[in-house]
Amino acid sequence: MFDEIHEECGVFGAYHIQNAAAITYYGLHTLQHRGQEASGIAVGEGAKIQVRKGKGLTIDVFTREKLEQMPGKVAVGHVRYSTAGGQENANIQPIVARGRVHDVAIVHNGQIVNEKELRIELEEAGCIFQGTSDSEIVLHMIQKEQGTMRERVMKTARKLVGAFSILVLCEDAIYAIRDQKGLRPLSYAKMQDGYVIGSETCAFEVLGLYTHTDVKPGELVEFKDGIVRRFDYEPAGETHLCAMEYIYFARPDSVIENLNVHRFRKETGRLLALRDDVEADIVIGVPDSSLSAAIGYAEASGIPFETGLVKNRFVGRTFIQPTQALRDRGVRMKLSAIGPIVAGKSVVMIDDSIVRGTTSRRIVRLLKDAGAREVHVRIASPVITSPCFYGVDTSTKEELIGARMDEAAICEAIEADSLRFMSIDDLKAAAGGVGLCTACFDGSYCTDLYSYGEKL
Amino acid sequence: MFDEIHEECGVFGAYHIQNAAAITYYGLHTLQHRGQEASGIAVGEGAKIQVRKGKGLTIDVFTREKLEQMPGKVAVGHVRYSTAGGQENANIQPIVARGRVHDVAIVHNGQIVNEKELRIELEEAGCIFQGTSDSEIVLHMIQKEQGTMRERVMKTARKLVGAFSILVLCEDAIYAIRDQKGLRPLSYAKMQDGYVIGSETCAFEVLGLYTHTDVKPGELVEFKDGIVRRFDYEPAGETHLCAMEYIYFARPDSVIENLNVHRFRKETGRLLALRDDVEADIVIGVPDSSLSAAIGYAEASGIPFETGLVKNRFVGRTFIQPTQALRDRGVRMKLSAIGPIVAGKSVVMIDDSIVRGTTSRRIVRLLKDAGAREVHVRIASPVITSPCFYGVDTSTKEELIGARMDEAAICEAIEADSLRFMSIDDLKAAAGGVGLCTACFDGSYCTDLYSYGEKL
Amino acid sequence: MFDEIHEECGVFGAYHIQNAAAITYYGLHTLQHRGQEASGIAVGEGAKIQVRKGKGLTIDVFTREKLEQMPGKVAVGHVRYSTAGGQENANIQPIVARGRVHDVAIVHNGQIVNEKELRIELEEAGCIFQGTSDSEIVLHMIQKEQGTMRERVMKTARKLVGAFSILVLCEDAIYAIRDQKGLRPLSYAKMQDGYVIGSETCAFEVLGLYTHTDVKPGELVEFKDGIVRRFDYEPAGETHLCAMEYIYFARPDSVIENLNVHRFRKETGRLLALRDDVEADIVIGVPDSSLSAAIGYAEASGIPFETGLVKNRFVGRTFIQPTQALRDRGVRMKLSAIGPIVAGKSVVMIDDSIVRGTTSRRIVRLLKDAGAREVHVRIASPVITSPCFYGVDTSTKEELIGARMDEAAICEAIEADSLRFMSIDDLKAAAGGVGLCTACFDGSYCTDLYSYGEKL
Amino acid sequence: MFDEIHEECGVFGAYHIQNAAAITYYGLHTLQHRGQEASGIAVGEGAKIQVRKGKGLTIDVFTREKLEQMPGKVAVGHVRYSTAGGQENANIQPIVARGRVHDVAIVHNGQIVNEKELRIELEEAGCIFQGTSDSEIVLHMIQKEQGTMRERVMKTARKLVGAFSILVLCEDAIYAIRDQKGLRPLSYAKMQDGYVIGSETCAFEVLGLYTHTDVKPGELVEFKDGIVRRFDYEPAGETHLCAMEYIYFARPDSVIENLNVHRFRKETGRLLALRDDVEADIVIGVPDSSLSAAIGYAEASGIPFETGLVKNRFVGRTFIQPTQALRDRGVRMKLSAIGPIVAGKSVVMIDDSIVRGTTSRRIVRLLKDAGAREVHVRIASPVITSPCFYGVDTSTKEELIGARMDEAAICEAIEADSLRFMSIDDLKAAAGGVGLCTACFDGSYCTDLYSYGEKL
């Protein structure tokens, strides 16, 4: 879908490791694909926590000098994609509570669906909020609970409904919690005398760590006193990992629930090919996220895999459209067709998903303008028919082309010669034994939606 | 070779087109892979030329506001990779001469090998130089010649030896010259009532232009009075296009001398496979430049093409190595192996070239650390044995591993299980009828080298 | 004392005025002498409040574009000098609480001396703090109280001990409170259909407003429904305006408690002269704050007023001391003597105060190096012997030269030929009927000091 | 005249001193009042010259790190106010010529009036210009001459007509030349084993140097081989120092031609008072440049000196006028009246000069709005009737109110109760024996004007 949907965050933590801030910097940089709008690191030394954060990529927010001013062996960090409330700096994570006895820092990936209800309850109890993020709510809740920090985090976790992978830093310890459905990924790995914790395993491999453990749905993992303790704050239910993590968000080298992302994508391509009978000359993928599926399709179909589209590596947020007349060329600034490869050819174009359909139509036109004879679009996921309330920015139901049209109508809208989506069953098959949340495809949300349900 | 060698520049021009500066901005953005250190645009209105330039990517140097302040229908622009003399702003192009009668602006891709001799001659004639770039020399030479601007450019071109694709902007006209050997590419395309000129054709396609004409070696093309006039300033000799343009620099969607770059690279992969007998499980390419060759190798060998390496899309110049202990992890920040794909496998790893060998060794280690059983390195170009004096920054002869070791020794140095380079004959075969400069492989420079010869 | 002590803040508000943010920008710019480290503006539209803030001068933090994006007719703003806790952005004001029903913004000048006790109480009630400023405490307290916003602000004000001039913005209304002792100034003026409120009246005059009303000690002024309502939240006691406001902080064109600052300073100069019998050739003042006193001294003594010291207008925070050898020239970068004026002369040098004494010694040396025969230092305020806990950064008691030495010893330490301070009685006389806090001179603090008392 | 006219530059050099770049940084910072738009330093080590320059104040352009990267014992620097041609970086000084044998750097204060003629001559000889500054012309001329560097600079100096104080840096030597009329000041002082050279002596005093020597009109001073050699490149004529240097540009602590600037200004005030019979309550000066004259006037007239106007110390170039309605308040952002001081008073307001008259009218209104009963404007210089071509930006003849109106009409235009200018004779008397250029007052230009004469 190329730039149309966004996941909101990545989290990373380093426990009991020299230069924890620098290690976290590496981790966040590797998780940068999960969010490019803002970046922050909090580092703890005893009761005190120091935090630095700002808008932009991790490599822009932090300098070597700044990192050197952040000593400490425990740190948590965050990268985020800005959402509606994101204009103001108050929402950039980590969020830190300054306390008389100790500070607490929190980073969060996901979305709490009962946030409105929790916020009202807290406000009525006299809490004030400086930002609009649900992470601030969690911080208040932890503060209000009684007991040890572990107990307070556990009690808080039980009250949260929705998607969350949260790290809490306090007094040289880190508490990691993952929502009961396991909607967002969260894993940890041993490093030297300590541990690193992160949204995706790719962040471990850059540190030379090749084995890891997943935080289970409904689990709290405490990193404290140099050791790891695992607790079920809720009885483990069935896993409902967000399907989009496999389809689009995660880096192909990451492993989630023991399944490699690239391998999953290749399998979706293979399954698409099995159900297909199109006669074509070449198979191409929309870079970068659809290349794996295209390779799988090519292998299974016997149609040669080709590089038909090239992505401009230097596109950033700052790209401008200087003149109105040129504005419709926007997509071309990001993506170009290789004329000599596609000209005169019948092309199978694999894309990972279709959201609004406008980008798909532009890419089809791009290929046709470059001389492609036929463009057969194959989508390595089912039709998106429902909005996501678990942290994916898929826009409203009205904007989802799959909520308004059937396959044939979408095919016409995007000006393709043919179009096929993957079935939900095939998607599940590709995931093997991993339970998926497929709410955006079939509307079956795995939690109560609270006030979000009104948006349906 | 992943980040080890650099070409110095890309040029772009827009003639007789509304918002020429904005069009040039698009063009430069698409040529950004040819240079990321600095960017500049000069736009002419009658006798006057306005110039803006600065360090950084095109999208960072220019804002919409700045472009709107640059009206005019004729413009030239430049992206560059900084070289030794590049610390000072005086070397950022375009370079403009302010004249009583009219201004002149120049942009240049390549390297003039008789620059020292020309500079001495000009200095002795009383010229002063504010920078160290050879572009300033060309500007002085044009100014010193007699006759019309076309005549002056032609006379100047005849005296230049080396690699150059130069655009000269003066009084609403653009003069494009390409060196007699055609070492650097240069093409133009019709757009509306005018023309665009650029180092690579990918810059035309983003504007929706699918046909183009190459400036021939030894040719001057004059864009003036609304039309194009072509002149041979020298009798056309044999073309010696820089082989590295096909192998590494150019974008895969570009077409040089009627040969698509991706297609060339696939053919090198195919030829590598034909000469090979290795038994392996998968073929992978080093992203991004070696993927085409890897696809070609896979097709010809029947060994499956896989995605074994992932590149961090957010790496920039500003990436820091916060701690000494982590410094050797540098390459991992840029490139990661997909463990589940390569683990236990015998891998054919296609890279486009080897310069110093250090990066190759790191990538081999990366794959081994991720569990690869065997890594067979195949290089889609011959051994680099000689430095380049035509605008490619391949470091000195001492640093070239291919100048010091034979294939077996290099194989050992990079810790590969086997290593094969492509033969020069196969390289030439892949280029079809296009004459190549292969000086870096065989030391046969296609021009006199003047003072540069001392470096051999 | 030239750059040795700092007041921490200035506040400004605009009520029921078009472009309230722009008006506040003007006001803050005029109050910039009260704080140069950070600047911020919150603007309200109905229940919602938008806030922008950052490090640096008001003119650097805000651009025209940013101000245009802040529509609304009610705004409050803040300039601050950073204190120890000031490294982190969380302390930059305004601080805003996001509420379900409405947002609340607060700006604060002064210091709450029972902040530690209040903070503990709030924390124990489950509040979390994101910064270390006492403004955040006030925001929590308001939120915790019951009743209308006016009632909640009043109840909060009654619990605060110390120095505060606070503006609270909520639902298109502004609530202004001044501490019971009137330690910090706060006034308002009618502007068009609305009002402006600010720390000093100079901020009104730049808007063409020449009449104003002081918020009284212990008063709450409510700007709501288009009108002003005044309430005594505490019975008015005796005023204890910080003497340093007159002596050093305030701009000479400001009027506090019906007394013009320049006039006060002239009177101190006059009184110094009356008590003096030194024979000298010229009177000079240390720019800028001591010029008024020097004029007063000259008038009363009959010794001619001269310009003997020149201040570099372009000194900023960013001034660097490039080499160690030159570091002791620091003061010269800021202040220079006019050699031809002072050479061979017996000089009366008026300064407003002495804190650590190091700057005074440097200035005396500067004058002697420039040829002054004698330098008689006269200080237009009494000896500072005690630290301030009401928002003035006079460092600790140990650093105060007046706490360690008597007049004769200080005279020797600063290498002056003679030295006289003003008596506390004369200081009070200069203030006419205005009651002053003179705690820094005589240690008689006008409030209980709570935990701050331990620092004595 | 408060911000209405501008001198274009200040120059500084350091010869044979450790950390010459850092010393030059100090010097430029002290000369910052002569130009705030751009700043640059060139430092030499043997034949090589390193240059750094940029837009903004010296303290913003240079960091400690940058200065540390500029070793060398010889440096020249420049601060400038941007003129029409100033938009482009090519005009920021120092301008450096890169040569095979050695580099040459130049800085220049003043204006060459035969620049057009010289430029044409050079262009016809084949020179190219990258900027529009006359400094680049001088560099070309030096390069074209024959002989030793000293001979070349002398031959060049003889051909230049107009105002210039130029420093040339080459091979560890500095050549300082001052125009034959001495229009711009230039002095040097011994420092350690070397020398510093600069536009004003205030730059020496911050370095602790209290004695200096003026470069004479028509003189070249060579700093080479550790010693100073002085040469008359032209027979010395009568000095014509720009009167505006004394009246407005120079810092009050500077000494030019043995006359202190503050003393000169006081004397103009005294002479104004002697010729005056106005009955008034107080005398005030427009800060900062008119305060000295106001003190002189007060002393001579017996009318008390007062502080009636306050300047905002934090006004910078970036100050914005956020709303149209508020735009006419612009001057108030920079200057405020002290109401309690001027209210009900008859005020003598001393200003240094009147250019367009608009600022004077605003200040008169400011005082009246603040309650002044009468405002009697006294100008400490004669009526400006003619444009300046020697480096002062007084705008065109049409804009000069003194070229269109007589004293009475100007008085009415600026809404003053009375107005008196100083006579040219009194101005000359104030300067004592120093010969002045008074062209802007009487149109008698001290050189041929060449093409500039057409603008009269």
Q: Is pLDDT of C324 > 70?
A: no
C84 in contact with chain A, both atoms CB, cutoff 8 A: no
Q: Which residues of C are catalytic?
A: 9
pLDDT-based confidence at residue C382 (cuts at 50, 70, 90): very high
Q: What is the pLDDT of residue A197?
A: 98
* Mean pLDDT score across all residues of chain C: 91
The DSSP element (H or E) to which D377 belongs, if any, is: strand D374-379
Please report, to the nearest 10 degrees, the dihedral formed by the alpha carbons of residues D291, D292, D293, D295 taken in order: 80
Q: What is the pLDDT of residues C384-424, one digit of tens each?
A: 999 999 988 766 788 899 999 999 999 999 999 999 999 99
**Mean pLDDT computed over B214-230:** 97
Give this complex's ipTM.
0.91
Nearest Cα to A8, choosing from A105, A111, A96, A88?
Answer: A111
Mean pLDDT of chain D: 91
d(CA C351, CA C360): 8
**Tell me: the pLDDT tens digits for A48-79?**
999 999 988 898 899 888 898 999 999 999 99
| CB neighbours of residue A319 within 10 Å | 16
Enter the pTM of the model: 0.90
Among B residues 251-270, those touching chain A with beta carbons less than 8 Å apart? 251-253, 255, 260, 262-263
D105 φ, ψ to 5°?
-120, 150
Domains in chain D with CATH codes: 10-237 (3.60.20.10), 261-433 (3.40.50.2020)
CA-based nearest residue to C26, from C171, C289, C208: C208
pLDDT above 70 for B390: yes
Inspect the interface and report whether the beta carbons of B33 and A205 lie closer than 8 Å. Answer: no
Residue C288 is predicted with a pLDDT of: 87
List all residues 6 or more positions away from D63 whose beta carbon is below 8 Å from its beta carbon.
C320
Question: Which of A376-390, B168-182, D52-66, D178-192 shows the lowest per-residue confidence on average (mean pLDDT)?
Answer: D52-66
pLDDT digits (tens, 9 = 90+) for B25-45: 999 999 999 988 899 999 999
- What DSSP state is assigned to residue B7? B
Q: How confident is the model at residue A37 (pLDDT cuts 50, 70, 90)?
A: confident
B9 classed as catalytic = yes
| pLDDT band at C317; cut points 50, 70, 90 | very low
Q: What is the pLDDT of residues C207-260, one digit of tens each?
A: 989 899 999 999 999 999 999 999 999 997 899 999 999 999 999 999 999 999
Instruction: Please list, in sequence order, all residues whose beta carbon lies within 8 angstroms of the beta carbon of residue C409, skipping any fewer than 6 positions away.
Output: none
Nearest to B89 among D89, D98, D129 (CB): D89
Residue A8 has pLDDT above 60, yes or no: yes
Q: How far apart are CA D207 and CA D27, in angstroms?
A: 8
Q: DSSP secondary-structure letter at C455?
A: G
Please tell me the predicted confidence (pLDDT) of residue C392.
83
| Cα–Cα distance for residue pair A169/A41, rounded to 1 Å | 11
Tokens of B429: 């075969």
Is chain B touching chain A, with at least 3 CB–CB pairs below 8 Å?
Answer: yes
Q: Mean per-residue pLDDT for A365-389?
A: 96
Axis-axis angle for helices C115-124, C134-144 (nearest 10): 50
User: What is the arithmetic mean of pLDDT over A395-412?
Assistant: 91
Q: Is D167 helix (H, G, I), strand (E, B) or coil?
A: strand
Q: Is the pLDDT of residue A45 over 80?
A: yes
More confident residue, D90 or A182: A182
Least confident of A185-194, B280-289, D389-398: D389-398
Tokens of A247: 């389809």
Q: How far is CA A199 from CA B98, B177, B374, B408, in A?
A: 57, 53, 31, 42
The yes-or-no verdict on residue B1 having pLDDT over 60 is: no
Q: D115, D134 in Cβ contact below 8 A? A: yes
Could you tell me if D432 lies within 8 Å of chain C, comparing CB atoms? no
A and D interact (at least 3 Cβ pairs within 8 A): no
Q: Taking residues B392-403, what's their average pLDDT?
A: 83
If pLDDT is split at 50, 70 and 90, which confidence band does B322 have?
Answer: low
- Whether residue B66 lies within 8 A of chain A, CB to CB, comes out as no
Amino acid identity for residue C412 in this structure: E
- Contact list in D for residue B70 (CB cut-off 8 A) is none
Q: Which residues of B touch A292 (CB under 8 A)?
A: 307
Mean per-residue pLDDT of chain B? 91
How many angstroms separate the CA of residue D99 from the nearest CA in chain B? 7
Given a contact cutoff of 8 angstroms between Cβ atoms, the answer to whether C387 and C456 are in contact is: yes
pLDDT in the model for residue C331: 45
Whether the CB of D291 is below 8 Å from some CB of chain C: the reply is yes
User: Measured between CB atoms, which of A98, A119, A120 is closest to C130?
Assistant: A98
Could you report the per-residue pLDDT of D283-316, keeping only the tens digit for each?
A: 999 998 899 999 999 999 999 999 999 988 886 5
User: Could you read off the pLDDT of B116-163 as tens digits, one per residue?
Assistant: 999 999 998 889 999 888 899 999 999 999 999 999 999 999 999 999
Q: Which two tokens stand for residue B196?
A: 């665009």
Q: What is the full DSSP assignment across A32-52? A: GGG--SEEEEEEEETTEEEEE
What is the distance between the alpha carbons of residues D40 and D17, in angstroms, rounded to a whole number?
Answer: 18
Q: pLDDT grade, residue C188 (50/70/90)?
A: very high
CB contact under 8 A, D120 and B100: yes
In this structure, what are the phi and psi dihedrals at residue B433, rounded to the nearest 5 degrees? -80, 0
Average pLDDT over residues D331-339: 81
Mean residue pLDDT across chain A: 91
pLDDT range class, residue C84, cuts 50, 70, 90: very low
Write down the pLDDT at residue D402.
Answer: 94
* pLDDT in the model for residue C52: 94
Q: What is the pLDDT of residue B399?
A: 85
- Nearest by CB: D128 against B88, B132, B139: B139
Instruction: Answer whether C304 touches D (CB < 8 Å).
Output: yes
Does residue C330 surpass a pLDDT of 50? no
| Confidence category of residue B325, pLDDT binned at 50, 70, 90 | low
Mean pLDDT of C171-175: 97
Segments in B181-329 forming alpha helices (H): 202-205, 243-244, 261-274, 291-301
* Beta-carbon separation of A336 and B205 below 8 A: yes
| Range name among C55-69, C77-91, D60-74, D198-212 with the lowest pLDDT average | C77-91
Q: In the structure, what pLDDT confidence band is assigned to residue B347 with cuts at 50, 70 and 90?
A: very high
Provide the pLDDT for residue D317: 45
Q: Which pLDDT value is given to residue D328?
A: 52
With an 8 Å Cβ cutoff, are A205 and B370 in contact?
A: yes
Residue D2 has pLDDT above 60, yes or no: no
Instruction: Give A371's contacts in chain B (Cβ within 8 Å).
Output: 210
Beta bridge partners of A59: none
pLDDT range class, residue B55, cuts 50, 70, 90 = confident
pLDDT for residue D320 is more than 90: no
